[in-house]
Structure 1
Amino acid sequence: MKFDIIVIGAGIVGLATALKIKAKNPALKLLLIDKENKLAAHQTGHNSGVIHSGLYYKPGSLKATNCINGYHQLVSFCDKHEIPYELCGKIVVATSKEEIPLMHNLYKRGQENGLENLILLNQEQLKVYEPHVNGLEGIFVPQTGIVDYKQVAARYAELIQEKEGAIHLGEKVTEINTGNHECSVVTNKSSYSCKLVVNCSGLYSDKVAQFTHQKLNVKIIPFRGEYYKLTPEKEYLVKNLIYPVPDPNFPFLGVHFTRMIGGGIEAGPNAVLAFRREGYTKRDIHLAELGESLAWPGFQKVAMKYWKTGMGEMYRSFSKAAFTKALQKLMPEIREQDLSPGGAGVRAQACDRNGGLIDDFLILENEYAVNVCNAPSPAATSSLSIGDTVSDLALKRF
């Protein structure tokens, strides 16, 4: 059971990385492992399906470069493999005078990131794009689109297997031992050896990284995002995608409206601390994992800094009326009865010991491993580009 490279994690980033490794060096013996019995079971499978444009991210950052490159690769991939998608565009809406300078900064950032044909909209022009929206000014971003990332991930997996890469599902990695320029990867079912481990474990990326990276100064803090769906008779209120101007001090975009590629309109999400790493409902509690989050010095500093914002997010989690009020900022016609419970996702947010919520992608490497320790949104859009980045780091060893 010897391999050259073992990739841990069959979400969209792990799959894209494995695919790129096999594409660049087909002779390498590769194994991809995931503890779940299906592909894309967590962040990818609970994704809202947005193809991000790269508007928000600091120019030159890994997020910016990988999102824009990944965007073009993803669109080409979907064209080639006949995966349905739509570049419907979105509007970002300033609903108060205080948000207008922030929105203009976003417009400038988008231009710096190479986005073309962005359009600044006045109040009347906003109504052309979204007749029911409430806003003073806005930006139209034509590059934004929608897709089903589970379909994309499934096609990645098919191509890996066509290139003779192995995929083992239902195997949880319990131990990684290193020495003599080799790794021993132990799972609940078997044991494997390889020259290099590539860790794309998402919500457990820090746990897996600790097997090979002795002093890890980041911890994954899980944040749940909860959605409502517009009732079918109210779907006419939203044509495509409607976003607020994000708070520059908070790493979440705020509640927004998203038309889905399979039909329907999602409204949300909020952002609340999940009580377990894979806690998709309020009742999902894992005391040890919750205790780890609460005890992490970095999270304690985050909680002190953002306690007021956090309390508001938690209140919206338990109050449909409060959630509705937040949506009414963008769409005044929305009423509680127009919303039915939707899905939820959990974001794997890396937090350092000093209280920094890591904003950029974070990749750590050593002799035995390449650890992708922070890959939140726009990782799905960026997956093929992240796959290029990580595969290049891996293949330089061979």
Structure 2
Amino acid sequence: RAPPPPFASMQSSRNSGVVHCGIFYKPSSSYATLCVQGAKDLLARAERLGLPLRKCGKLVVATNSNRVGAHERLTALARQATSLGVPDLRVMSEQEVRELEPALSTAGAILAPTSASIDFPSVAASLVAEAMDVPWSRLQNERLLTTAGQDTPVNGVRVLRSFPVTRISTGVSTTTLHSDGQPPVTGHTVIECAGMNADRLARDLGGARTPGIIPVEGQWRVFQPSAAHLLSRHVYPLPDPNHPWLGVHFTARLNGDVWAGPNALVKPSRTTATFSLSDSLETVTTPGFASFLARYAPSGVREFGGAWSDAAYLRRINEFLPTMKRQDLRPEREYGIRALALDPSGELEGNFVLERPHSSRLLVRNAPSPAATSCLAIGKRIAEEFRK
């Protein structure tokens, strides 16, 4: 049998690593409440266990093209986020921003000092270790990596890392998962967190047809090492309510790299494959997709241009970093795929969505960013659901 994949080898391994502070989300949304609490829990866990962590902070900036009313919009956003519990926010003038980040051109910003970078695969490994009652660092041990979650339980716990589910059968009080060439697994309680296949498995588990999942590919451009000194913090733009995507932003990575992006393009495949006819047909027939496409066509054109034209993407970067040149970007790109849930009206879901079609089954139907930051808080919410 082939060796099992590493823990968190799918979407979690392609995560930017940003620990969000919760500044962008609507006050009434679960994104806001769970992100704020989740960030606190995650940072505390990283400190307690010694997980890889970089406390770099984040700047939410108004670009010069949005200079009119910038201070008022920044102040309003900071006030709203503070009311939700986001700590230590500070509205800064253009000059104050330049003192922190001399290469950055802005009309002002909000400093969020608690935002950070973390290694989410290490977070996942620490959770597996906790479930198996072993120190998380032991998961780097080759023997334990080979046995954990395969045929040999560790302290009575099995974590199945090579078990692609091909069929689900449900009974009155049990659910059985089937995988080709392996014994089935039967349990009394099922929590489905399937990411890109959340809608497909949810339907097999008795869930509703909607929300459907739209696969969205993101491309990052990586600064050359000689240009990485230009930014030492995450830098995000003030959100534009007319666009579903955040637009160009910058991530200060754990290893000192700086990434620009990701952009967002609907992908004709739910995997790393370039194209899948069946996935594409499922996307275009998803309830609400036609409305979504019509509503955000201008944003799609802009994202497409940035994906295929270095000059177009550099122009967007230059709104923030006017001295940046094409040779300051590495030629290779980093890629990832996000699972975004679409409601029947054609809007992206604005909350984490949990569905309970049966007392023994809970389905996570929507958990995009800031879900990684919020993971511990989401886990607590799921546990609370089962206590009801």
Instruction: State the match for 2:146 in structure 1.
Output: none
Note if 1:42 corresponds to 2:10. Answer: yes
Match of residue 196 from structure 2 = 203
Matched, 1:149 2:117: no
Q: Which residue of 1 aligns with 2:101?
A: 130
Equivalent residue of 2:14, what SS?
Answer: coil
* Residue of structure 2 in register with 1:97 after alignment: 67
Amino acid paired to 2:282: E
Match 1:114 to one of 69, 85, 88 = 85
Report which structure shows greater RCO (CA 8 Å, sep ≥6): 1
- Residue 327 of structure 1: CA displacement? 0.8
Alignment of 1:329-348 (within 5 A): 329-340=319-330, 341-348=332-339
Deviations 1:63-108, CA, capped at 9 Å, x for gaps:
1111111111111111111112122211111012256244333212
What letter corresponds to residue 327 of structure 1 in structure 2? I
Q: d(CA) in 2 for partners of 1:220 and 1:149?
A: 23
The aligned amino acid for 2:36 is I
CA contact (8 A) 2:74 2:91 kept: no
CA distance in 1, matches of 2:172, 2:86: 48
C-alpha deviation, 1:248, in angstroms: 2.4
Q: What is the DSSP-based 3-state SS (H/G/I as helix, E as strand, rest coil) of the residue aligned with 1:54?
A: coil
Q: 1:198 is paired with a residue of what secondary structure?
A: strand
Match of 1:86 in 2: 54
Counting only pairs closer than 5 Å after superposition, residues 1-398 of structure 1 correspond to structure 2 as: 37-95=5-63, 96-98=66-68, 100=70, 101-162=72-133, 164-188=156-180, 189-279=182-272, 284-340=274-330, 341-367=332-358, 368-396=360-388
**Residues of 2 paired with 1:122 and 1:386: CA distance?**
36
The equivalent residue for 1:5 is none
- TM-score using structure 1 length: 0.86
- How far is 1:151 from its partner? 1.2
Checking the alignment, whether the CA contact within 8 Å between 1:257 and 1:266 is kept in structure 2 is: yes
Gap runs ≥5 in structure 1: 1-35
Report the Cα distance in structure 2 between the residues aligned to 1:295 and 1:68, rounded to whole angstroms.
35
For 2:287 and 2:364, locate their aligned partners in 1 and report how far apart those are by CA, in whole Å. Answer: 22
What letter matches 2:339 in structure 1?
A: A
Deviations 1:316-361 (A, max 9, x none): 1111111111111111111111111231111110001221210211
How far residue 297 of structure 1 moved from its aligned partner, in angstroms, is: 3.5
Shift of 1:179: 2.5
Please name the residue that 2:138 is paired with. Answer: none
Gaps of 5+ in 2: 134-154
Contact kept? 1:99, 1:245, Cα under 8 Å:
no
Calculate percent identity across the aligned residue pairs. Answer: 30
The amino acid that maps onto 1:267 is A
1:217 aligned counterpart, secondary structure: coil
What TM-score results when the alignment is normalised by the length of structure 2?
0.88
Tell me how far apart the structure 1 counterparts of residues 169 and 311 of structure 2 sit (CA, whole Å): 51
Deviations 1:208-257 (A, max 9, x none): 10112253221100111100111011111112111111122434322111
The alpha-carbon deviation at position 395 of structure 1 amounts to 4.4
Preserved CA contact (<8 Å) 1:56 1:110: yes
What secondary structure is seen at the aligned counterpart in 2 of 1:372? strand
More strand by share: 1
